[in-house]
Amino acid sequence: MTLSALSPTSRRRSWRTSLVLVLLAPALASCRPATPVAGPAGPFTARDSRGHSIVPAPLSVQLAGGEGFTVDSTTQIAIAGGAPPEVDFVAQQLFDMLGLPVTSRPRRLVEGEMPAPRSIALAIDAGNSTVGDEGYELNVATDRVTLAARSAAGLFHGVQTIRQLLPVSVEYPAAVGRVLRMPAGRVVDVPRFAWRGAMLDVSRHFLSADDVKRYIDVMALYKLNRLHLHLSDDQGWRIEIKSRPNLTVVGGSTQVGGGPGGFYTQAQFADLVAYATQRFITVVPEIDMPGHTNAALASYAELNCDGVAPPVYTGIRVGFSTLCVERETTYAFIDDVVREIGGLIPGPYFHVGGDEVEKLTAPQYRRFIERVEGIVRARGKTMIGWGEIAPANISASSIVQHWHNDSSQLHVARGGRVILSPAKHMYLDMKYDSTTMLGLRWAGLVEVRDAYALDPGTYIPGVPESAILGVEGPLWSETLVKRQDFEYMAFPRLAAVAEVGWSAASARGWDGFRLRLAEHGPRLQALGINFYRSGQIPWPR
Ligand code: NGO
């Protein structure tokens, strides 16, 4: 393919777009139809039929045989001019990942300058209509790698694909004598759904900010883009609210089983949000209400209808607590909480829980949700709630998260959108099989294949794919105490969640997924992740 082959419209594009196209030309020319990679170019041992082990599966992968691209001390990282500042950070992460010498530091090209031979070039191509807001186009040739996207997020996702095209030694930055070589070819990729989430319940058992960052790191590897933090429940309140200090002094003081609990200061939370943002992950805070509120009720007597604060709670029953929905003090409290947390996040979402309320009448519950929606909107955020909120008279712009036997369809009927977290597929706290020590089993056993089997486009009868915002894997922590417990339940199922959310139906398939996922065993091990060695996956020995 040469420039002269381009249409008149494309010839009118900006110099930057032309640069992208010039950069792509050699790689495009060397692309052949999909053939499994053989020999030294391929770092894989088990692969799906298209010869790669990328998870989530990209929309299209064409690998060419031959030498591929080798990263070495002469490799340069170039940023095509005009890219927004976030691209510098993406380039820096690529640089760090490849362990390049200082002489290879990312450099912005000046207008008209071509990248040096042996470069990995990152370019924003705002006119690319095939890759959407988060997709990318990657071309790998022996003398050059080009990654183009419409946004920095797209480039970031492309860097994760580069990472997965490289051998697992890329995950050992201090290893001596490693050879980082990737196969030549072309990947064009775009996510199927905008919402690809993971939820951490840091209430039942607290997880430190550093442990949450580790989780974010692995989310990024799999192109997940929403981190939902379940910050309050009966057993613990986990975020500092300056106007309501007892929430953390009392409500944050314990956890399931009576351990020490814990909470994030606002500074720690802001730092966590910044860490996620740099990885193109939006933090979605959840304050569960009006039920699942014993920690708040224990902190402030005025939130209880009888004006008496109950003791803190360390068991795992659900459904017994509720804020006093008839008292104005409750709404002043909620406004303080939404205002303070809302001020710490750039993201547009605020999750209000709303699940499993047994102590209110249906009209009381609905009025509460409608009023809280007003508070969240007045604070400039979009309300999200579990499926139970759907019968309330809420706006179509609010979001419902389906989990189990709920009436999410009602929200779709009013034109609203739904996040799918059906427990029997997406709940990462369900046991894998009958021998799994950790987790619960009320929704059944969820092996990797069960997680993977969800088809979001057909899951809720009568709900079309266009009403599905995406998917999310919640990890509830009644039985999970330490980081390794959380990891064991999340991995490798979270990779299945990611593929369900990202990959086009045409690119998906269990037989290919299990082979590709097998290659992620050594990678997860390299990252120090305590993952479940499912018997369904042919892990390499
Ligand atoms: C339910 C419940 C949570 C539990 C979880 C355990 C929802 C939305 N509410 O899911 O409080 O922790 O199950 O699997």
Shared-domain flag, residues 185 and 223: no
Question: pTM of the predicted model, to two decimals?
Answer: 0.92
Which of 167, 189, 211 lies at the terminal end of a domain, its last residue? Answer: 189
pLDDT, mean of residues 269-273? 98
What's the domain count of the chain?
A: 2
> Is the CB of residue 318 below 6 angstroms from any atom belonging to ligand 1?
yes
Mutate to test the pocket of ligand 1, among 288, 355, 421, 426 (most ligand atoms within 8 A of CB): 355
pLDDT for 8: 30
- How far is the centre of ligand 1, averaged over its atoms, from the C-alpha of 405 (Å)? 12
Cβ neighbours of residue 37 closer than 8 Å, sequence gap 6 or more? 44, 47, 51, 52, 63, 65, 183
pLDDT of residue 349: 98
CATH number at residue 29: 3.30.379.10
The predicted model gives 400-412 an average pLDDT of 94
Cβ–ligand 1 contact at 356 (below 6 Å): yes
User: Which residue in the list 111, 356, 447, 472 is annotated as catalytic?
Assistant: 356
More confident residue, 415 or 14: 415
Out of 155, 189, 223, a domain closes at 189
Of 189, 216, 248, the position where a domain reaches its end is 189
Give the tens place of pLDDT for each residue, 91-120. Answer: 999 999 999 999 999 999 998 899 999 999
* Strands, sheet with 76-79, edge to edge from the N-terminal-most edge strand: 60-63, 185-189, 136-141, 144-149, 119-124, 76-79, 107-108
Quick one: tokens of 28?
Answer: 């495009």
Residue 87 has pLDDT above 60, yes or no: yes
Query: Under 8 Å CB-to-CB from 374, ≥6 apart: which residues?
Result: none
Distance CA(263)–CA(253), nearest Å, equals: 8
- Indicate the average pLDDT of the chain: 91
Residue 422 CB–ligand 1 contact under 6 Å:
no
Give 494's pLDDT tier (boundaries 50, 70, 90). very high
pLDDT surpasses 90 at 373: yes
CATH number, residue 317: 3.20.20.80
Query: Which residue out of 476, 479, 489, 493 has the highest number of ligand 1 atoms within 8 Å of its CB and is therefore the one to mutate?
Result: 476
Q: What is the pLDDT of residues 431-476, one digit of tens each?
A: 999 999 999 999 999 999 999 999 999 999 989 999 999 999 999 9
Which of ligand 1's atoms lies nearest the C-alpha of 430?
14
Is the shortest distance between the CB of 368 and ligand 1 below 6 Å?
Answer: no
Token pair 């080798």: residue? 70
**pLDDT tens-digit readout, 214-268:** 999 999 999 999 999 999 999 999 999 999 999 999 999 999 999 999 999 999 9
pLDDT of residue 50: 62
Ligand 1 pocket residue status of 316, Cβ below 6 Å = no
Ordered DSSP codes for 404-424: SS--HHHHHHTT-EEEE--HH
pLDDT at 314 (0 to 100): 97
Which are the contacts of 295, defined by CB distance < 8 A and separation ≥ 6? 203, 232, 233, 234, 235, 236, 237, 247, 250, 251, 252, 312, 313
Nearest to 451 by CA among 486, 497, 492, 420: 497
244 and 389, same domain (yes or no)? yes
| Domain span at 58 | 11-189
In a domain, 537, yes or no: no
Q: Are residues 227 and 123 in the same domain?
A: no
Residue 111 annotated as catalytic: no
